[in-house]
Every structure is written in C-alpha cells, then in structure tokens.
Structure 1
Amino acid sequence: MSTAPDDGNNQPMPETQRLYEQIAQQLAISIASGKYEVGQRLPSERDLAQAFKVSRPTIREAMIALELDGLVEVRLGSGVYVVNVTPPAGETVAADIGPFELLEARRAIEGEACALAAARITDEQIEELARLVAEMRVENEHDVVRSEDADRRFHELIAQATQNSAMISAVSTLWDARMRSPQNRSLSTKVRASGVKPRIDEHTAILKALRKRDPDAARNAMRDHLTRVIDALLKATEVEEMERARAQIAEQRKRYARPG
C-alpha cells in the first residue's frame, strides 16, 4: 500500500478503498489539520506522485475527488488551490471508479473484444458501425455531443459482434460505470469544455480493421484509440503548464545571462 511521507497527519488507509480515494483522504486530513491553508497551492502533481509513490493520473483522480468535495479548486495552467477546510455540503461525494482506472480497464477488455469481433462481425453490423461514425462526424461538425451516445453505441455494437454474452456484459458494465461515476462526469465536463471530441479518424481505423476481419489489426486499433483518449484527457486536464513555462523561462534567462 502506498503512503505519503509521515508528516504527523497521515492515517492508516484502508486497503478496500480505491487508490485515488486513499490519497484524497490523506490530503483532506492535511487540509483539515491546517497543513494546507485556504488559498494555498497544493504541491505539484509531480511532487505528490513521488510522495505517494503512485502515477500522476492517480493524483489527478484524487484532485477531481477533492474538487467534487469542494475542498480545492483546480485552475488549469496554474495549479490546485485549497478553497475550504471541510466539505461545504457537510459530506464527501461518494467515490466511484476513477476515470483513468476505468480507461485502463476499457483498453484491456475492449481491445480483446474488438479482436474477437473481427472474426464474427456481420456485414449488417459493419454498416451500422459506419453509420455511427457518420453520426459522430456530424455531431463534431455542429459542435454537439449528445451525451456521447453514438460513441457508446459504437463500442457496445462491437461487443455485441463478439457473440459472447460475458464480453457484452463487461463492456456494457464499464460504460455504465463511466456514466454513473461523479468523478468521470466531472472529468468529461472539463474535457468537453476544452474542445475534446470523439476522434473520427480513430473510430474509422477500428472500422477499417473490422471490415478486413483482421483480429490483430482490430485489437491494435482499439488499444491505440483508448491510449490516445487517455493522452487527450491528461492534456486537457493539465494544471501545471504555467509552472513549467516559468521554469523554462527562468532556465533560459540563466543560460543566456551575461556574466556579472
């Protein structure tokens, strides 16, 4: 189990909690104890990841949880700032599957579903997938995303093409979790506000592999697509661009400064 360096405020973290939830709880305890005061910027994502010995996406999930609880404000390009010592609502928002954890699972499961579907998909299902890609393209052109319904139907239709009830159920369950989770909904709102939309070229590549009935190509296309989704979400929720820019400017000034 990962824990941050002992500062006197750390409490044992139950193994049954999700990793990001454990970290959010530790940070909430630090905020409540006064270690981080209202208006203060939390340590950088990199520093927190090193302190807790976890990945940066896990730290980002913890920040989303703290923001939902009303304890912090995430300012894109600047950092994460404490805004309340305790949750204004009096209680924390129920934790659910984290956004990046969910995408990791989808990449593994949907990649294999796509490979299996390539060997079993019907011509009618291929044409329906093509219609869904066209629907996503129209929505993108008109800057409309209808709850990502076409995107979900695309992925669930591929699962149905496997003709495997367990695979169909697994994919549907992951999408249900995505729609249910407050953490996922919060991230989706931020991502849409930043202009991220379903990638037509990536869905087209998946469709192309399925048309060829090529399991390896289908698996790789789906995995590549979900990997790029993860990358896009990380970029869209980056909060420390300004900090890095300042560091780069300072380094350049140092490098090119005239000798005193």
Structure 2
Amino acid sequence: MNQKLNATLAENIRLYIVSKGFQHNERLPPERELAAHFKVSRGELRKALNCLEADGLIWRHVGRGTFVGARPVLNLNDVAYLGELASPIQVIAARLAIEPSLARLAAHSGTRADFIAMRTCNERCRAAPDWRSYEAQDNNLHAIIAKATQNKLLVYLFETLNVVRRSTVWGQSRETTGPAASYCSFDEHEAICAAIEARDADLAEACMREHLISVRDRVLPTLSR
C-alpha cells in the first residue's frame, strides 16, 4: 500500500471512530472485522493503525485488541478506579498543582528535539479536523512538555494524572465539530512553548498556569458540581 492510500485509510478509520462515538479506552472491533469493513487486507489495516497510534488516537495491546486514545501507563482496572475517585474539579486542581512546575523545569532541561516536537504538535493542533483529533494532539503536547523535564519520575506522575483526566466523565457539550481557528488554546499553547524554548522558566510557568485557568473557566461552568 503506497503512502497516499495508507493515509486515506487512516483518515477513514478516524472518521469511523468519530461516527461510531467510541469513548476513550473503549475497544474497537477486531482487526478481521475492521479489515472486512474497509475492504482491505490485515497488513494494509495495520499500516493505517500504526499511523493513528503514532498520533495518539489509538493504542494496541497484543491479545487484547485496539483501544481509543493514548496508551495508558496503568492497567485499565486502575484507570477506571482512579477515574471514579476523581471529579473534574479535582482533576483540574491537580493539573494546576503539577503542570506549571513541569513547564518551568522544561524551560531549564528541554532539548532542541523537544522544542521541534512542541512546534510540530502545535501545528497539528491547529490543523485538527475535529475535537477528538484536537484532544489527541493537545494530550501529546502536554506529554511532550512533561518529557522535556528529563525527569522520569515526574513524567510517570504526569502520565498517571493524564490518564485519569482523559478517563474522567466531563459531560462537556460541543457546539461545533472541531475547534475554530480562533480557539484560545492555540495561542495559549504557543505562548507556553515559546517561553520554554526561550528558557524563560518564570514565563513558562505563568503561561501554563494561565492556560489551565482558562481551561477551568471554560469547562467547569458547564458541569454539575
């Protein structure tokens, strides 16, 4: 399968996931069913799934299947348990306690490769065709910032929090199929990354805090407290 056809199949699978309303960490049909549905071979299907996995839209576990979202660092039972314990308000409070400090450390320890990855992820955020794709790239960006700290323990703590965040039922309604070109998180993300790349730790921390407060103020008023 050439690269163009592979990209087309990956896009068709992404649209299938959106149209069927699969939830985060929900298992997709078996590969044989997906291959039959899209009228392709198992090999062709796997190449397309590789693309979606690289973008954080799906993850695969040998013997268990293909799941929606990024690969969790915990097993699914732990994810479900932690997701039941945490409310959206608690999740955002935890993010505010942790992620500004990660941005500060990333400004000190980030590498050129980290900065390139951040810029690429920001471009993909702006180009996302729908909310699910945007959220996958948003997730990737925050993960890249955490990894730029070069601190494996902090990365593990971030990933644990991030899995809980993505497993929490937010109940947020969407009035559009995807983010508008003026969506405020685009500029907020770029301000964070610019500060990190400039090695301005104070500004990176402040920009991350402002971004998370912006997220909190957009999301929490729509939720039942």
Once the two structures are superposed, the pairs formed by residues 53-92 of structure 1 within 5 Å of their partners are none
Of residues 204, 213, 225 in structure 1, which corresponds to 2:199? 213
**Matched residue SS, 1:145:** helix
Contact 2:89 2:220 in 1 (8 A): no
What pairs up with 1:1-260 in 2 under 5 angstroms?
A: 95-139=84-128, 142-146=129-133, 148-181=135-168, 183-184=169-170, 186-187=171-172, 190=173, 192-193=174-175, 197=179, 199-235=185-221, 237=222
Distance in 2 (alpha carbons) for counterparts of 1:213 and 1:146: 29
Letter in 2 for 1:160: K
Cα pair 2:188 2:207 within 8 Å, conserved: yes
The answer on whether the counterparts of 1:196 and 1:232 sit within 8 Å (CA) in structure 2 is no
For the aligned residues, what is the CA RMSD? 2.2
> For each residue in 1:130-154, what CA deviation from the matched residue of structure 2 results, as whole angstroms up to 9, or x when unmatched?
0100000011xx3443271111110
**Higher Rg of the two aligned structures:** 1
Q: Which amino acid aligns with 2:112?
A: D
- Whole-Å Cα distance in 2 between the matches of residues 143 and 196 of structure 1? 4
Alpha-carbon contact 2:130-2:178 (below 8 Å) kept: no
What is the Cα deviation at residue 102 of structure 1?
0.4
Change (3 A) 1:144 1:176: closer
1:226 aligned partner, one-letter code = L
- CA deviation vs aligned residue, 1:236-259 (integer Å, no higher than 9, x gap): x178xxxxxxxxxxxxxxxxxxxx
**CA drift at 1:104:** 1.1
- SS of the residue 2:133 aligns to: coil
Give the direction of change, closer, same or farther, for the CA distance of 1:193–1:95 in structure 2 (3 Å limit).
farther
Question: How far does the alpha carbon of each residue in 1:145-201 deviate from its partner, in whole angstroms, 9 at most, with x for none?
Answer: 3271111110011111111112101111111001222x33x33xx2x3467846100
CA contact (8 A) 2:121 2:140 kept: yes
Gaps of 5+ in 1: 1-93, 240-260
In 2, Cα distance between equivalents of 1:95 and 1:125: 33
Identity of aligned residues (%): 31
Q: Cα distance, 1:109 vs. partner? A: 0.2
Q: TM-score, normalised by structure 1?
A: 0.49
Task: Give the corresponding residue for 1:81.
Answer: none
